[in-house]
């Protein structure tokens, strides 16, 4: 212990180092970013392709299949799944771990190449999955005059917000925009024998402005410009058209009008379109909080200037608020936990100086942790703060054990320096072993696959940093401060043992007196373990818990081919359902093609009457009931881990008809499982197509061609933009359509076609055959599959998963067809298997560390015998609190393996010391229990007290903190009492007094 003597003799050096830690720690607090989740680009990407009105089968053959083949050839791509819809293809790509950024660049290049060479692809969007959202601040602008608020949004609000250095992009959804509609009269065009395409070309040619030359001989060489651009509806109406016998103008054959642009209104507030949604995104190097402060300051300035007059501007969602609420809540819990830990410590030691030393060590350790976080480029986010919250209880363990040992040496009469040296030396091995065993359990965390694994690694690193920081402080600051400040009253030394220690002594003596007594204790605990396993099925299970922040985000997937008017009806029905739900304050919907993205604001503050989980359940249940009456495919949260409904089963095969048949039969049996509702499968969603069959003889006899007939029919459904005009610096599109829309088969077939023999009806040249085609076709690595989806009601995912697995095992399928779980069910299975593997590896690593530390193969096994009994405490804790067993609570179990062994290590280490001093095994076990009871209780209770606020907290991040803290508290407290009874029993059962005495003599003679 020369290094310890060196530290104690240089108190000034230690004091200056503490000051340095405080200064750098405060600097780190100011420099660390604050965000809800760490910024992580995930190992996955998506591609969304628009293909007009192509059928799902055509999209699959001409777009999806070629694109899949190209993407699968990229090095680093693990899996490609896709869905082909009517006019749309979605591709999801899984990339090898830690190669997301690199591979995504190649994916983007490949998509660009495919899109440029495929005329069927009209537009595409590609992106990489990330914790960063495109927009994180939403505003609601509303008023009576949509023209006025649109002008304000476009000319004042948008440019001023975009000029802020913290803002990357401002997007406006909704508002008032106009378009010019040119409605052609079909009869008048037929009467004039005009070509519709020629009319459209004439409009486009007239609406031009271009340079056609320049006068080189003139001074300054002025250019010659052609300017015939249209600038009003009247200028369009007066466009000359060559008629059959004379020149006419466009208004003679068409009606030209300026109308609101219906397609632009794709957002709704409480079912109404009379508002504008403003979405604001931040630049990469700015936090959500910094952007929110900048935006709010600019809006306040706009208000102060009196520019918001006659309309209202409100915040819809500001992610920064939830970041601050979450961080403030976790920070408060950490502070309360620290105070509780110090209070528990004072109850045990009843010494203000000793309590002060530990109380000083806690913030010093935390500041040292902040410095490490700054150096490793971490941020303050929900995961790192939970890690700190868990570490706050454990970080005092090392300090408590060392200080208690020093304190006990002083009670035994050692002088100041010797008490510190001997006390620290006595527990140094146990403290180092305890720290290492707690840290090594985190090493296998890296084996957890996917994005959950990334988050767990961050959490593990923070806990490990916290433990290392606390160990450094406990071996430097604690001895130094103890030498300077720790004193005990003379009448406090050598006090009699209390009734707790005396009672324990008698019971421990009975346990180790005879081996049959030890065996009886071991058998009793085995029975308790076996009995607790029956409670596992009663514990709710999930993958990742929800985050409650008094607003909900939902994705409502619609059936393919839903029109704008049908979407509007869906939104009205959604609004009616939400208005009837208590605690729902407002709801917003944004149209994103086949999806409606919904933001639902809940009551806050004193207006809250129900917990958010209750409101969320009612919202999803009410909206899913609309699937029976509205064209809604699914309703799920935006953060659903499986990317859809909680129950998803995949049936793979080649033939669509066979897949649909199997899916129908399986769905019927799935509906019989309790708690499974809303069963549907992707194969049942089909639409009717009218396939055109040409009458070739009739077409040929009339002097026509099949191409002419096709062009004529395409013109019958005319509805497209052809150009735009500029009025007062605003671009207004020109849309052409027929005055009389063709919306029925009979209307199409009755249309007259001009031939050499006169006008004939279209039905003389074609016939329509009705066929059923799928609305969507899904692939997994090129293989077709049908997805069966369902919702949960009244049961947790884990219990339903077991029933679904049994159904899959019993269900018979034809050869070359297979059934497997996907989505949340698949992720839960994979996660549980990975966690079991991680626990196994963690246990082996713990054994390895202790075997090296103890230089003994059997002692680590005795220490680790406490692990199964710890599971009893975990099961009881989750069962009685009904907290969910999730990835985070499983993380708590892994951490618990390292924590609970600390007490057992203290016990065994002291037993070894006593045996070397000449104690026989029975005496050593009883004395070790007496010596280590106080530090074991102190470390366990302070750890539990430090985590108690996390376990009972409510609010935004409670579902993330509480299950993990519950697991650790219940498992640790149960294991604490078991340690003092089970460890002596196992040690005694496999030891012999005579043999130990002989070994001791052999060791002594060898030393001599």
Q: Each residue of 809-820: pLDDT tens digit?
A: 888 888 888 888
Would you state the pLDDT for residue 812?
A: 87
User: For residues 26 and 407, which has the higher predicted lDDT (pLDDT)?
Assistant: 26
- Residue 379 tokens read as 């941020």
Is the model's pLDDT at 825 over the cut of 70? no
- Return d(Cα 612, Cα 1003) in angstroms, integer: 66
Is the model's pLDDT at 546 over the cut of 70? no
Would you state the pLDDT for residue 828?
A: 65
Is the model's pLDDT at 706 over the cut of 80? yes
- Return d(Cα 202, Cα 181) in angstroms, integer: 16
180 in Cβ contact with 257 (< 8 Å): yes
Would you state the pLDDT for residue 14?
A: 85
Mean pLDDT lowest among 414-423, 506-515, 828-837? 828-837
pLDDT (tens digit, 9 = 90+) per residue, 919-969?
Answer: 888 888 888 888 888 888 888 888 888 778 878 876 656 666 788 888 888
What is the three-state SS of 664-689? HHHHHHHCCCCCEEEEEEHHHCEEEE
Strands 167-174 and 254-260: unpaired
The pLDDT of 496-509, averaged and rounded, is: 81
Going by the DSSP 8-state scheme, the letter that residue 225 receives in this structure is E
User: For residues 685 and 646, which has the higher predicted lDDT (pLDDT)?
Assistant: 646
- Return d(Cα 348, Cα 408) in angstroms, integer: 12
Would you state the pLDDT for residue 164?
A: 94
**What SS3 state is found at 632?**
strand
- Return d(Cα 813, Cα 807) in angstroms, integer: 12
Which residue has 């005694």 as its token pair? 988
DSSP state string for 403-429 = HHHHHHHHHTT--HHHHHHHHHHHHHH
**What SS3 state is found at 127?**
strand
Is the model's pLDDT at 1004 over the cut of 50? no
Mean pLDDT, rounded, of the chain: 82
Domains, the chain, ordered by start: 1-31+351-486 (1.20.1640.10), 41-130 (3.30.70.1430), 499-547+824-998 (1.20.1640.10), 548-638 (3.30.70.1430)
Would you state the pLDDT for residue 1006?
A: 32
The pLDDT of 444-468, averaged and rounded, is: 77
Would you state the pLDDT for residue 638?
A: 59
Would you state the pLDDT for residue 296?
A: 93
Would you state the pLDDT for residue 24?
A: 94
User: For residues 869 and 738, which has the higher predicted lDDT (pLDDT)?
Assistant: 738
pLDDT (tens digit, 9 = 90+) per residue, 28-50?
Answer: 988 888 877 777 777 888 888 88
Ramachandran assignment for 685, one of left (phi > 0), alpha (psi -120 to 50 degrees), beta (any other): beta
The pLDDT of 327-336, averaged and rounded, is: 76
pLDDT (tens digit, 9 = 90+) per residue, 573-603?
Answer: 999 999 999 888 888 888 876 778 888 888 8
What is the three-state SS of 575-588? HHHHHCCCCEEEEE
pTM of the model: 0.69
The pLDDT of 685-712, averaged and rounded, is: 85
Would you state the pLDDT for residue 160?
A: 93
Which residue has 């498992």 as its token pair? 971
Is the model's pLDDT at 492 over the cut of 60? no
**What SS3 state is found at 41?**
strand
pLDDT (tens digit, 9 = 90+) per residue, 594-644?
Answer: 778 888 888 877 788 887 778 888 888 888 888 888 888 778 765 544 445
pLDDT (tens digit, 9 = 90+) per residue, 720-732?
Answer: 888 888 877 778 8
Would you state the pLDDT for residue 187?
A: 84
For residue 602, the cross-strand partners are 584
Is the model's pLDDT at 366 over the cut of 70? yes
pLDDT-derived band at 162, boundaries 50, 70, 90:
very high
Q: In what order do the strands lie in the sheet with 267-269?
A: 267-269, 584-592, 595-602, 551-558, 632-637
**Count of alpha carbons within 13 Å of 969, Cβ hemisphere only?**
25
- Return d(Cα 360, Cα 272) in angstroms, integer: 58
Instruction: Count the neighbouring beta carbons within 10 Å of the beta carbon of residue 899.
Output: 26
Strands 730-738 and 178-184: parallel
The pLDDT of 170-183, averaged and rounded, is: 86
% of the chain with per-residue pLDDT over 90 = 7
Which residue has 């915040």 as its token pair? 315
> Which of these, 179, 173, 85, lies nearest to 562 by C-alpha position?
85
Q: What is the CA radius of gyration of the chain?
A: 37
532 in Cβ contact with 748 (< 8 Å): no
Is the model's pLDDT at 295 over the cut of 90? yes
- Return d(Cα 865, Cα 979) in angstroms, integer: 9
Would you state the pLDDT for residue 1000?
A: 44
Burial (Cβ within 10 Å: 0-12, 13-18, ≥19) of residue 942 = buried
CA-to-CA dists, residue 105 to 66, 95, 117, 454, angstroms:
19, 12, 19, 21
E strand or H helix at 939? helix 921-952
Is the model's pLDDT at 493 over the cut of 70? no
- Return d(Cα 767, Cα 650) in angstroms, integer: 39
């Amino acid at each position: 212990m020369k290094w310890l003597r060196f530290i104690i003799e240089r108190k000034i050096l230690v004091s200056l180092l503490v000051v340095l830690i405080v200064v750098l720690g405060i600097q780190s607090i100011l420099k660390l970013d604050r965000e809800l989740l760490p910024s992580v680009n995930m190992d996955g990407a998506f591609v969304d392709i628009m293909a007009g009105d192509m059928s799902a089968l055509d999209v699959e053959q001409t777009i999806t299949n070629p694109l899949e083949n190209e993407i699968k050839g990229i090095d680093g791509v693990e899996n490609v799944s896709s869905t082909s819809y009517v006019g749309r293809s979605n591709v999801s790509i899984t990339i090898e771990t830690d190669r997301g950024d690199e591979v995504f660049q190649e994916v983007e290049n490949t998509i660009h190449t495919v899109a440029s060479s495929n005329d069927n692809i009209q537009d595409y969007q590609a992106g990489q999955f990330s914790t960063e959202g495109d927009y994180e601040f939403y505003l609601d602008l509303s008023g009576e005059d949509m023209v006025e608020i649109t002008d304000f949004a476009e000319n004042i609000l948008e440019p001023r917000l975009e000029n802020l250095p913290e803002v990357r992009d401002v997007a406006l959804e909704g508002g008032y925009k106009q378009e010019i509609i040119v409605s052609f009269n079909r009869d008048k065009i037929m009467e004039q024998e005009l070509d519709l395409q020629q009319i459209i070309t004439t409009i486009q040619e007239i609406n031009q402005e271009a340079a056609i030359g320049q006068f080189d001989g003139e001074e300054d060489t002025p250019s010659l410009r052609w300017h015939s651009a249209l600038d009003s509806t009247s200028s369009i109406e007066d466009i000359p058209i060559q008629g059959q016998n004379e020149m006419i103008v466009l208004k003679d054959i068409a009606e030209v009008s300026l109308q609101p642009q219906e397609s632009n209104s794709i957002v709704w507030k409480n079912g109404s379109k009379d508002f504008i949604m403003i979405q604001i995104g931040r630049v990469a190097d700015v936090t959500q909080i910094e952007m929110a402060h900048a935006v709010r300051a600019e809006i306040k300035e706009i208000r102060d200037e009196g520019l918001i007059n006659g309309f209202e501007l409100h915040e819809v969602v500001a992610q920064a608020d939830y970041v601050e609420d979450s961080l403030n809540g976790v920070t408060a819990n950490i502070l309360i936990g620290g105070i509780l830990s110090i209070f528990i410590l004072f109850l045990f030691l009843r010494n203000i100086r000793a309590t002060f030393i530990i109380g000083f060590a806690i913030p010093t350790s935390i500041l040292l942790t902040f410095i490490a976080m700054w150096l490793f480029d971490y941020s303050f986010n929900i995961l790192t703060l939970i890690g700190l919250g868990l570490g706050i209880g454990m970080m005092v363990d090392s300090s408590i054990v060392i200080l208690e040992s020093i304190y006990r040496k002083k009670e035994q009469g050692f002088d100041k320096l010797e008490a510190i040296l001997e006390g620290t030396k006595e527990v140094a091995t146990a403290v180092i072993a305890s720290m290492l065993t707690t840290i090594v359990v985190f090493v296998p965390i890296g084996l957890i696959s996917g994005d959950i694994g990334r988050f767990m690694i961050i959490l593990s690193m923070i806990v490990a940093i916290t433990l290392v920081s606390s160990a450094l402080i406990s071996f430097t600051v604690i001895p130094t401060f103890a030498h300077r400040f720790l004193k005990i009253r003379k009448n406090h030394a050598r006090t009699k043992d209390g009734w707790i220690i005396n009672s324990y002594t008698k019971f421990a003596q009975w346990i180790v007196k005879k081996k049959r007594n030890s065996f009886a204790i071991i058998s009793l605990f085995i029975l308790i373990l076996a009995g607790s396993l029956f409670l596992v099925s009663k514990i709710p299970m999930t993958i990742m818990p929800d985050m409650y922040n008094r607003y909900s985000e939902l994705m409502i997937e619609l059936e393919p081919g839903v029109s704008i008017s049908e979407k509007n009806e869906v939104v009205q029905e959604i609004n009616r359902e939400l208005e009837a739900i208590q605690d729902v304050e407002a709801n917003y919907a944004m149209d994103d093609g086949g999806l409606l993205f919904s933001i639902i604001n809940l009551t806050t503050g004193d207006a809250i009457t129900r917990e958010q989980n209750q409101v969320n359940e009612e919202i999803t249940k009410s909206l899913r009931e609309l699937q029976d009456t509205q064209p809604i495919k699914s309703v799920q949260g935006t953060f659903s881990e499986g990317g859809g409904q909680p129950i998803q089963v995949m049936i793979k095969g080649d033939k669509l008809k066979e897949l649909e048949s199997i899916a129908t039969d399986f769905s019927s049996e799935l509906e019989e499982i309790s708690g499974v509702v809303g069963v549907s499968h992707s194969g049942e969603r089909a639409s009717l197509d009218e396939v055109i069959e040409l009458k070739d003889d009739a077409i040929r006899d009339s002097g026509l061609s099949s191409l002419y007939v096709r062009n004529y029919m395409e013109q019958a459904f005319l509805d497209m933009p052809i150009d735009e005009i500029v009025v007062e610096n605003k671009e207004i599109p020109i849309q052409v359509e027929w005055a009389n829309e063709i919306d029925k088969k009979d209307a199409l077939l009755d249309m007259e076609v001009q031939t050499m023999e006169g006008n004939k009806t279209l039905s003389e040249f074609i016939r329509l055959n009705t066929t059923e085609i799928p609305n969507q076709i899904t692939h997994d690595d090129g293989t077709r599959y049908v997805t069966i989806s369902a919702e949960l009601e009244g049961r947790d995912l884990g219990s339903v998963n077991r029933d679904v697995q049994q159904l899959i095992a019993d269900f018979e399928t034809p050869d070359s067809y297979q059934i497997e779980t996907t989505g949340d069910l698949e992720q839960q299975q994979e996660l549980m298997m990975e966690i079991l593997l991680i626990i196994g590896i963690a246990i082996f690593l713990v054994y390895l560390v202790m075997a090296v530390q103890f230089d003994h193969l059997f002692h680590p096994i005795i220490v680790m015998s406490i692990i199964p009994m710890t599971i009893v405490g975990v099961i009881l804790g989750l069962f009685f609190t009904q907290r969910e067993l999730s990835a985070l609570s499983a993380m708590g179990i892994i951490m618990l393996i390292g924590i609970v062994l600390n007490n057992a290590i203290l016990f065994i280490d002291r037993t070894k010391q006593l045996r070397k001093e000449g104690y026989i095994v029975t005496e050593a076990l009883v004395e070790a229990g007496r010596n280590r009871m106080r530090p074991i209780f102190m470390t366990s209770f302070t750890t539990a007290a430090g985590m108690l606020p996390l376990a009972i907290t409510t609010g935004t991040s409670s579902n993330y903190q509480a299950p993990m803290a519950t697991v650790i508290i219940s498992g640790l407290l149960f294991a604490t009492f078991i340690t003092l009874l089970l460890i002596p029993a196992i040690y005694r059962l496999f030891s012999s007094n005579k043999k130990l005495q002989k070994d001791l003599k052999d060791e002594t003679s060898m030393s001599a």
